[in-house]
Structure 1
């Protein structure tokens, strides 16, 4: 059996990749995205943290979170978010009732992959790189041609805060903004 070790730093900033079970596109509709947002908001209220960046794609999520000082328990927050979403999602009987024996043993449903990918952010440069990765991810996966076209991302919030120009990573109307290269992250993002 694998031995997974997580790096916990009180008040740290973390990048997460959270994937649906068997990459099912549960977030390809706005109802499920709203259920996820409610789950995240509930967890934030129960166990505060800051969301620096986020993107919701049909079969996975990316987050950048900063925890409060003296708090390092991101695993509990992610587990709670998964559970709240799953309860809400199951409420509409959208899933088959069969779950493998292994998943039953671990008290898991067939909504989420068993684990999640985490990376501890070390400095401002790395934070910027991962934030760019999050915002460019819908383009990377061929869902849209430009980051501003994806509705389920913190990109729009960052544009309003003047952290990005609205045409960052954009090819609309002949714009040839520099396309980011994330080859150096391929072993760190869990995709």
Structure 2
């Protein structure tokens, strides 16, 4: 078993990816009602700011900012996964998840863009505006943004 260490920063901003154990399933979008309710309940129980969030059929991405003095994103993800598991009546998650500590404004922008562009990257839609399970719509409205297709050679 590897000796994996997570970075903890009080009030820090982090990017995450959580995946289904069986990546062939579409549970997350097929049961988006459960995902949304579990996410709302997790945020209500242990508040944090969602900077970006996107649910795809077999995985999800998030960028969170924790409150000052708070380092417990693992507890929040544990609570979220448990809520989903209990609502579905089955275990669906890979036991671990990927996290990255945001280190600069450029790093933040890159991760937010990656999260929002992910449905296009995976061929689920041609335009980010078409994907309903994302904070892209809120982000665009709050920041007065428009979206144009990137060049064919753009890789995120």
TM-score by length of 1: 0.77
After TM superposition, list the pairs within 5 Å mapping 1:108-147 onto structure 2.
Answer: 109=91, 111-147=92-128
1:156 maps onto 2:130 in alignment: no
2: CA distance between counterparts of 1:49 and 1:142? 30
CA contact (8 A) 1:17 1:60 kept: yes
The match for 2:18 is 18
- Aligned residue pair count: 154
Deviation at 1:169, TM superposition (A): 4.1
1:28 maps onto 2:29 in alignment: yes
The match for 2:65 is 66
CA contact (8 A) 1:14 1:66 kept: yes
CA contact (8 A) 1:147 1:169 kept: no
1: CA distance between counterparts of 2:128 and 2:100? 23
Unaligned runs of at least 5 residues, structure 1: 96-108, 171-176, 183-191
The root-mean-square deviation of aligned C-alpha atoms, in Å, is 1.3
Larger radius of gyration: 1
Unaligned runs of at least 5 residues, structure 2: none
